[in-house]
Amino acid sequence: MYVADQPGKSRRSRFVRVHHLDGGGTRPLGGRLIDGQPGVLRRAATACHCLLIEHSTGLALVDTGYGEQAVTRPEVWVGRQIIRRTRPVLDQVIARHVEDLGFAREDVRDIIVTHLDLDHAGGLADFPEATVHVYQAELDAMTGAYGRRERFRYRPVQIEHGPKWMAYGESDSRDDHLFGLRAVRELRGLPTEILMVPLAGHTRGHVGVAVDTGNGWLLHAGDAYSFHGQMERRPRMPLGASVFQRSLDTLRSSRVENQRRLRELVHDHRDAVTVFSSHCATEFERLRGTDGHER
Ligand SMILES: [Zn+2]
């Protein structure tokens, strides 16, 4: 069983440590047109930014990458078409990263998912006993019938083990705000330092996850945006990434509006909160090996 070595006695002495883990990004064709780095005739590099949070009473994950079964049966778990198109890096298994840090998989008692796309939910099966905190609209999108356009992104096989869902909805985030964004502050069984921030658009029930580290806030924005330049005052992003983003929009106007809110937050609260996305390799490189702060 996991025991934090400095359990929080009060809100002031809380203990939250964050590890940035790469659950395997993609290596699609297009170089600069996707990742903004020099060279077009090479494969681009994206990350799959997940977090392992050591908090006062245990371990929590934010997102899970493709998962271990993507290694053992990739065509079933991820799908042949996705593999051919995006060239996912499947040997970056979050459960193994957790073990490399000296923990057991069973120590992870909670998982908060930004959404249930196959590159975020694939590792849920590696933690079958964990409680999975999710937005209800996302669960409905995955298990409901929204037609072919949304069916390609979710892989029902990834949840066949029956995750222990803990779902939240509009009423849970009505009254609370974090830096001007609505937030769910009461994630059952988790300390109040970890919040869910609804950011619909990419999918119907997409959320960000905010963590108060005691030394500034982190906001994992999931796929609410995908390239660091989108958070600049004059947003910019490579053409290929932009086409990709649009092709994956479920609710475009919400995605655009939430990106605007995030950009505003970044500029108004730069000293208090570090915002990053799932797939920007530049942001991942900036934050890996830190407790989350660029300063
Ligand atoms: Zn994604």
Which tens digits make up the pLDDT trace of 209-221? 999 998 899 999 9
Between CA 168 and CA 147 the distance in angstroms is 23
- The pLDDT score that the predictor gives to residue 147 is 61
Distance 117 CA to ligand 1 centre (A): 6
Distance 107 CA to ligand 1 centre (A): 25
Q: How many helices (H) and strands (E) does the chain have?
A: 11, 12
- What tokens were used for 87? 């060239």
Domain parsing of the chain, residue ranges:
17-287
- The pLDDT score that the predictor gives to residue 152 is 81
- The pLDDT score that the predictor gives to residue 173 is 80
Tell me if 61 sits within 8 A of 127, measured CB to CB.
yes
According to DSSP, the residues that pair with 43 across neighbouring strands are: 29
According to DSSP, the residues that pair with 16 across neighbouring strands are: none
Distance 225 CA to ligand 1 centre (A): 10
Distance 185 CA to ligand 1 centre (A): 24
Which tens digits make up the pLDDT trace of 249-285? 999 999 999 999 999 999 999 999 999 999 999 999 9
pLDDT beneath 70: ranges in the chain: 1-14, 145, 147-149, 291-295
- The pLDDT score that the predictor gives to residue 5 is 43
Q: Considering the entire predicted model, what is its pTM?
A: 0.93
- The pLDDT score that the predictor gives to residue 148 is 65
Between CA 106 and CA 59 the distance in angstroms is 9
Distance 21 CA to ligand 1 centre (A): 14
Is the alpha carbon torsion for 69, 71, 75, 79 positive or negative?
A: positive
- What tokens were used for 179? 């830096």
Between CA 172 and CA 163 the distance in angstroms is 21
Between CA 185 and CA 105 the distance in angstroms is 26
Distance 49 CA to ligand 1 centre (A): 9
- The pLDDT score that the predictor gives to residue 143 is 87
Distance 10 CA to ligand 1 centre (A): 36
Distance 121 CA to ligand 1 centre (A): 10
What is the CATH T-level fold of the domain 17-287, as seen in this structure? Answer: Metallo-beta-lactamase; Chain A (3.60.15)
Distance 5 CA to ligand 1 centre (A): 33
Strand extents, DSSP E, 38-130: 49-55, 58-62, 108-112
Distance 236 CA to ligand 1 centre (A): 19
Between CA 120 and CA 66 the distance in angstroms is 6
- The pLDDT score that the predictor gives to residue 42 is 96
> Cβ-count burial of 158 within 10 angstroms (0-12 exposed, 13-18 middle, 19+ buried)?
buried
- The pLDDT score that the predictor gives to residue 163 is 98
